[in-house]
Amino acid sequence: MEWAGAFGDLGTLIPFALAYITVMGLDPLGVLLGFGVCMIATGLWYRTPFPVQPMKALGIVATTQAAQTAMVTPQAVYGAGLVTGVLWLVLGLTGVTRWVTQLVSRPVVVGIVLGLGLAFMLQGIKFMAAGWIVSGAALFVALILLSNRHVPAMFVILVGGALVAIIREPTLLSALVAVQKSASFLQRVRDADV
């Protein structure tokens, strides 16, 4: 189950981490080490594995603005993340978050979560309609492996999706090699500037 849970955050963590590293130019060691240390710390504190994700709103604003203009710098992302983290820490330590949660009734929270879940499901159905044969096969595999404790459904679907993408578009492998080469080139340029 730990192996299966490891794939749970791929849809959110990987795109944001890649955007922070490639678009914003953040140091991969700092980003990944920060995630790792936070995961270990929260796991030790709560005595259970606990996902640690970047703030989605911060990530979206930072990467989209950086792609359009040069106004958002890595330092701004570090500062925003630090301020946000300190704010949540203060809210948690002072008990303000408990007070706020008492103001919002449980049915409201459940309704919001249910609405988001339904919106994601509807969007997923729209995506599935574009390639219904592959989507149907992936859904079938997910349903078969849903209660399997040895083979995570998400892992099988990811491998299958990668294979289908490579079969449909063989140039993807060469594009991945080109990305690696350009990343190495950009790193050499950054090192030369320092």
Of residues 61, 1, 63, 53, the one with CA closest to residue 26? 63
pTM above 0.75, yes or no: no
Q: How far apart are CA 95 and CA 88, in angstroms?
A: 11
Q: What confidence tier does 3 reach under pLDDT thresholds 50, 70, 90?
A: low
Region class of 182: left (phi > 0), else alpha (psi between -120 and 50), else beta: alpha
Contact in structure between 69 and 59 (CB atoms under 8 Å)? no
Q: How far apart are CA 180 and CA 165, in angstroms?
A: 19
Q: How far apart are CA 156 and CA 44, in angstroms?
A: 30
Helix (H, G, I), strand (E, B) or coil at 81: helix
Q: What is the pLDDT of residues 59-85, one digit of tens each?
A: 666 656 665 665 677 787 778 778 888
Name residue, tokens 């678009």.
23
Q: How far apart are CA 6 and CA 154, in angstroms?
A: 9
Q: What is the pLDDT of residues 25-67, one digit of tens each?
A: 788 888 888 878 877 887 888 777 665 555 565 666 665 666 5
Contact in structure between 77 and 26 (CB atoms under 8 Å)? yes
Contact in structure between 44 and 22 (CB atoms under 8 Å)? no
Q: How far apart are CA 164 and CA 137, in angstroms?
A: 11
Average pLDDT over residues 81-92: 84
